[in-house]
Chain A
Amino acid sequence: MDEMTKDQYLIEKNGNKYEVIIGLEVHAQVLSESKLFSTSATIFGSEPNTQVSLVDAAFPGMLPVINEFCVKQAVKTGIGLNAKINKKSIFDRKNYFYADLPQGYQISQYKDPIVGEGSIVLDLPSGHKKIGIERLHLEQDAGKSIHDIDPSSTLVDLNRSGVALMEIVSKPDLRSPEEVNLYIKKLRSIMRYLGTCDGNMQEGSLRADVNVSVRKLGTDKLGTRCEIKNVNSIKFMQMAIEYEANRQAELLEGGKTVDQETRLFDTKKNQTRSMRSKEDAHDYRYFPDPDLLPLEFDDVFIEDIKKEIPELPDQKKMRFIEKFKLTPYEATILVSDLDTSKFFEKVIAKSDVKLSANWITGELFALLNEKNLEINQSPISPENLSKLINLISDGTISGKIAKTIFEIMSKGDKDPNVIVQEKGLKQESDPKALEDLIQKVLSSNEDKVKEYKNGKDKLFGFFVGQVMKESKGKGNPQMINKILKEKLNG
Chain B
Amino acid sequence: MTNLLDLSLVQLVNRIKSKDISSKEVTVTYVERSKKSKKLNSYIEETFESAFKQSEKFDMKPDFNKKLPGIPFAIKDLFCTKNVKTTASSKMLENFIPTYESTVTQNLWNEGAILLGKLNCDEFAMGSSNETSNFGNVISPIDDNLVPGGSSGGSASALAAKLTPATIGTDTGGSIRQPASFTGTVGLKPTYGSCSRYGIVAFASSLDQAGPMTRDVKDCALLLEVMSSFDPKDSTSINFKRPNYFSDLNKNIKGKKIGIPKEYRVDGMPSEIEKLWENGKEYLKDCGAEIIDISLPHTNYALPTYYIVAPAEASSNLARYDGVKYGFRADGENLIDMYEKTRSQGFGDEVKRRIMIGTYVLSSGYYDAYYLKAQKVRKLIKNDFDDAFNKVDAILTPSTPSSAFKIGDKSNDPVSMYLNDIFTVPVNLAGLPGISIPAGLDKNNYPLGLQIIGKPFDEQGILDIAYSMEEKINFKLDINDWWMK
A residues at B contact (CB < 8 Å): 54, 57-66, 93, 95, 97-99, 102-105, 154, 156, 283, 285-287, 289-293
B197 touches A61 (CB 8 A): yes
B80 touches A63 (CB 8 A): no
Interface size on B, residues (CB 8 A): 42
Q: For A283, list chain B residues within 8 Å (CB).
A: 363-364
Q: For A66, list chain B residues within 8 Å (CB).
A: 235
A292 touches B235 (CB 8 A): yes
Beyond A54-B100, A58-B325, A289-B205, 11 additional contacts (C-beta under 8 Å) are: A57-B325, A59-B100, A61-B198, A63-B198, A64-B235, A65-B235, A98-B335, A103-B319, A285-B316, A285-B363, A293-B236
Q: How far is the CA of A139 from the CA of B335 in the complex (A)?
A: 25
Given contacts A103-B319, A285-B359, contact A61 B199 (CB under 8 A): yes
Q: Mark B224-253, 1 if CB is under 8 A from A, else 0.
A: 000000001111100000000000000000
B201 touches A293 (CB 8 A): no
Q: For B14, list chain A residues within 8 Å (CB).
A: none
B235 touches A60 (CB 8 A): no
Q: Is B176 an interface residue (CB 8 A)?
A: no
Given contacts A57-B325, A156-B324, A283-B363, contact A63 B316 (CB under 8 A): no
B80 touches A102 (CB 8 A): no
B316 touches A105 (CB 8 A): yes
Q: Mark B271-286, 1 if CB is under 8 A from A, else 0.
A: 0000000000000000
Distance in Å from the Cβ of B329 to the closest Cβ of chain A?
12
Q: How far is the CA of A66 from the CA of B93 in the complex (A)?
A: 28
Q: How far is the CA of A95 from the CA of B355 in the complex (A)?
A: 13
Distance in Å from the Cβ of B92 to the closest Cβ of chain A?
9
Chain B's closest residue to A65 (CB) is B235
Q: How far is the CA of A292 from the CA of B312 in the complex (A)?
A: 16
A60 touches B88 (CB 8 A): yes
Complex A-B, nearest 7 residue pairs according to Cβ-Cβ distance, in ascending order: A104-B319, A290-B205, A285-B362, A290-B206, A58-B320, A61-B199, A60-B201
Contact of A290 among B88, B98, B313, B367 (CB under 8 A): B313
Chain B's closest residue to A64 (CB) is B235
Q: Is B483 an interface residue (CB 8 A)?
A: no
Name 28 A/B residue pairs within 8 A (Cβ), A-sorted: A54-B99, A59-B98, A59-B100, A60-B96, A60-B98, A61-B98, A61-B202, A63-B233, A63-B234, A63-B235, A65-B234, A93-B316, A95-B319, A97-B339, A103-B319, A104-B316, A104-B319, A104-B322, A105-B316, A285-B315, A285-B362, A286-B362, A289-B205, A290-B236, A291-B202, A291-B235, A293-B235, A293-B236
Q: For B235, list chain A residues within 8 Å (CB).
A: 63-66, 291-293
Q: Is B204 an interface residue (CB 8 A)?
A: yes
Chain A's closest residue to B320 (CB) is A58
Q: How far is the CA of A285 from the CA of B235 in the complex (A)?
A: 22
Q: Is B47 an interface residue (CB 8 A)?
A: no
Chain A's closest residue to B309 (CB) is A290
A291 touches B98 (CB 8 A): no
Chain A's closest residue to B312 (CB) is A287
Q: For A64, list chain B residues within 8 Å (CB).
A: 235
Q: How far is the CA of A55 from the CA of B399 in the complex (A)?
A: 36
Q: For A99, list chain B residues within 8 Å (CB).
A: 324, 335
B86 touches A95 (CB 8 A): no
Q: Is B200 an interface residue (CB 8 A)?
A: yes
Distance in Å from the Cβ of A290 to the closest Cβ of chain B?
4
Q: How far is the CA of A285 from the CA of B366 in the complex (A)?
A: 10
Chain A's closest residue to B335 (CB) is A99
B363 touches A102 (CB 8 A): no
Contact of A59 among B197, B316, B326, B364 (CB under 8 A): B326
Q: Mark B357-371, 1 if CB is under 8 A from A, else 0.
A: 001001110010001
Distance in Å from the Cβ of B238 to the closest Cβ of chain A?
10
Q: How far is the CA of A66 from the CA of B339 in the complex (A)?
A: 30
Task: Find the residue from B198, B232, B236, B320 having the highest chain A CB count within 10 A.
Answer: B320
